[in-house]
């Protein structure tokens, strides 16, 4: 029962909500320059107003009411009534009409179209009507009365544009052009006529100006003579009046001078009497003033002595209080300084003691570290010397030969160094080639003597070692690279094979095969490792 009673209220609320949604969603407001066209259940056009569009049942379209500028120009020459081919250029403004049925017609023709499309359609209509009016009128008439031509085109085009819902707002002719210069000739004829009329008018004006100028000169001369006569008369009257005025002024001046002298004597006498009275009064006032000054000085002296004594007493008392306060503060400050100094000395003593302790510990640690470093350095140097001794014991004749070969370039460079400093050689007499040959062959000669000395002292023949890889060495195998002689054969034998080979054992000749020389093991420098 309760639910059935609430059903009407629920239905009413649903209807109200639907109405609010329809109003909210379908509310449209058209600006003044656009027409909103609602179609569907009903047809309605609104401009500058608001309305409701029912969603899903009605649609909304827009039509622009803004001004559309169009440049209308005949695409080709058009003959006039007097058979002169011309072209016309005009600026036209059209817009959608809102009076009568024009808005509905415009909606049928241009709904949802751009202004460019509307301008293109209107331009074609206007150009056709403009061609028609050009054919009706004479050239001179069109050129002289452009407004008439524009009105005729508007009257002729208005019905066609009204049928599409458009109005012509303005029509202005910009220019008339022709290919034969007829318009220019019309202008020349008009210019000639205008110049002729202007010349005639100028001549008439010059004649009138000359007559008027002569009449004006005559009148000016008459007026000048009359004016000069009147000026002379006026000047004479003025001189007579000046003389009479001067006489009267002199008489009045003499009377005034006499009266001045009389008044001057009277004033002098009055001043002298007044001055004498003033002197007497002044002397009397000075006597009274001096008496008053003596009395004032006596009172002032009494007051000054009394006040000075009181002031000195007060000042002495204040100075004594200030000195007492100062001595108290100085004593307190000195006591505070002594306390602070004692605390500072105590802190300094503690700091010095701690510093000495840390310094002693540091010296002890440094000494221990230096002793350990010296010990480790000695051990490392001893081990390095042992390693080097072992390495030198392992060196064979081949290793020694290799070391000698490595230093041969440096030896040759040192031998040839004096030759590099020779800037110029001058040969006096003899053959130039025979004189320079000893100098150029100096280095090979010295190297040969060096090889012979090494062979005699060390038993190592560097010449054979250098020739080890030559053709002769490979064929005859008559080179001993290791430096270890083999009495049975002079073939290449490595030190290891020489040890293994028994005496007087014949080794079968083999192709020469250079085996890699065994390099001595690098000696580990423990000193450097320890220092790092």
The DSSP code for 530 is H
Please report the pLDDT score of residue 122 as a whole number.
Answer: 92
Q: Alpha helices, DSSP H only, in 459-487? A: 462-466, 471-476
Write down the residue that tokens 């009064």 correspond to.
Answer: 281
pLDDT of 77 > 60? The answer is yes
Percentage, residues of the chain above pLDDT 90: 10
Task: For residues 409-420, give the mean pLDDT.
Answer: 70
Q: How does pLDDT run across 450-486, given as a tens digit for each residue?
A: 777 777 776 767 666 666 555 555 555 444 444 444 4
**Separation CA 261–CA 268 (nearest Å):** 11
**Separation CA 179–CA 86 (nearest Å):** 7
Closest to 43 (Cα-Cα) out of 96, 111, 145: 111
**Both tokens assigned to 218:** 């005559």
Task: For residues 347-372, give the mean pLDDT.
Answer: 81
Of 89-98, 154-163, 322-331, the range with the lowest mean pLDDT is 322-331
Q: State the angle between helix axes of 146-163 and 115-136 in degrees (0 to 180), rounded to the nearest 10.
A: 130
Strand partners, 90: 72, 173
Please report the pLDDT score of residue 394 as a whole number.
Answer: 60
pLDDT of 7 > 50? The answer is yes
**Both tokens assigned to 118:** 């509307």
Task: For residues 157-164, give the mean pLDDT.
Answer: 91
pLDDT of 334 > 90? The answer is no
Q: What is the pTM of this model?
A: 0.34
Please report the pLDDT score of residue 91 as a whole number.
Answer: 93
Separation in Å, CA 239 to CA 82, 226, 235, 242, 243: 88, 20, 6, 5, 6
The DSSP code for 467 is G
- CB-CB contact of 155 with 101 (8 Å): no
**Both tokens assigned to 441:** 């062959």
Task: For residues 327-337, give the mean pLDDT.
Answer: 86
If one compares 192 and 340, the residue with the highest pLDDT of the two is 340
What is the DSSP pairing of strand 85-96 with strand 78-79? Answer: antiparallel
- The dihedral built from the CA positions of residue 472, 474, 477 and 478, taken in this order, carries a sign that is positive
Task: For residues 301-306, give the mean pLDDT.
Answer: 80
Q: Where residue 126 falls among pLDDT bands split at 50, 70, 90?
A: very high
Please report the pLDDT score of residue 428 as a whole number.
Answer: 63
Q: What is the DSSP string of 333-344?
A: HHHHHHHHHHHH
Please report the pLDDT score of residue 391 as a whole number.
Answer: 67
Task: For residues 364-385, give the mean pLDDT.
Answer: 80
Please report the pLDDT score of residue 515 as a whole number.
Answer: 47
Please report the pLDDT score of residue 374 as a whole number.
Answer: 83
- CB-CB contact of 65 with 33 (8 Å): yes
Q: Where residue 123 falls among pLDDT bands split at 50, 70, 90?
A: very high
**Separation CA 274–CA 264 (nearest Å):** 15
């Amino acid at each position: 029962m309760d639910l059935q009673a609430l059903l009407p209220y629920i239905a009413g609320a649903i209807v109200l909500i639907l109405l609010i949604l329809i109003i909210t969603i379908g509310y449209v407001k058209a600006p003044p320059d656009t027409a909103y066209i609602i179609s569907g259940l009903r047809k309605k056009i609104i401009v500058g107003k608001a309305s409701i569009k029912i969603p899903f049942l009605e649609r909304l379209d827009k039509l622009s009411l803004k001004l559309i500028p169009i440049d209308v120009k005949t695409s080709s020459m058009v003959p006039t009534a007097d058979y002169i081919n011309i072209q016309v250029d005009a600026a036209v403004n059209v817009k959608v009409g809102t009076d009568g049925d024009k808005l509905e017609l415009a909606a049928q023709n241009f709904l949802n179209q751009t202004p460019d499309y509307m301008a293109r359609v209107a331009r074609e209509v206007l150009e056709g009507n403009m061609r028609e009016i050009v054919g009706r009128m004479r050239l001179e008439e069109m050129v002289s009365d452009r407004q008439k031509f524009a009105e005729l085109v508007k009257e002729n085009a208005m019905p066609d544009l009204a049928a599409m819902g458009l109005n012509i707002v303005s029509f202005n002719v910009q220019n008339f052009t022709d290919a034969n210069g007829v318009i220019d000739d019309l202008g020349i004829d008009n210019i000639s006529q205008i110049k002729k009329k202007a010349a005639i008018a100028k001549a008439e004006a010059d004649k009138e100006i000359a007559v008027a100028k002569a009449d004006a000169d005559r009148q000016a001369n008459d007026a000048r003579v009359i004016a000069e006569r009147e000026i002379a008369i006026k000047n004479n009257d003025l001189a007579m009046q000046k003389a009479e005025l001067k006489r009267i002024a002199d008489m009045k001046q003499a009377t005034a001078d006499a009266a001045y002298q009389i008044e001057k004597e009277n004033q002098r006498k009055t001043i002298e009497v007044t001055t004498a009275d003033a002197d007497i009064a002044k002397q009397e006032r000075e006597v009274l003033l001096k008496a008053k000054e003596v009395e004032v000085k006596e009172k002032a002296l009494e007051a000054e002595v009394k006040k000075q004594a009181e002031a000195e007493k007060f000042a002495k008392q204040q100075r004594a209080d200030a000195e007492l306060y100062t001595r108290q503060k100085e004593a307190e400050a000195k006591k505070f300084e002594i306390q602070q100094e004692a605390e500072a000395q105590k802190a300094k003593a503690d700091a010095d003691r701690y510093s000495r302790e840390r310094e002693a510990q540091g010296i002890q640690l440094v000494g221990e570290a230096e002793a350990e470093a010296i010990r480790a350095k000695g051990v490392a140097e001893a081990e390095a010397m042992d390693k080097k001794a072992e390495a030198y014991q392992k060196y064979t004749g081949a290793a020694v030969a290799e070391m000698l070969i490595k230093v041969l370039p440096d030896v040759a460079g040192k031998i040839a160094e004096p030759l590099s400093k020779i800037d110029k050689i001058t040969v006096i007499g003899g053959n130039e080639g025979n004189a320079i040959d000893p100098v150029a062959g100096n280095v090979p000669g010295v190297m040969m003597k060096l090889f012979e000395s090494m062979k005699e002292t060390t038993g190592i023949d560097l010449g054979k070692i250098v020739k080890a890889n030559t053709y002769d060495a490979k064929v005859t195998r008559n080179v001993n690279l290791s430096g270890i002689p083999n009495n049975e054969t002079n073939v290449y034998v490595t030190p290891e094979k020489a040890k293994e080979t028994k005496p007087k054992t014949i080794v079968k000749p083999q192709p020469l095969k250079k085996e890699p020389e065994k390099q001595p093991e690098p000696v580990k420098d423990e000193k450097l490792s320890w220092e790092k």
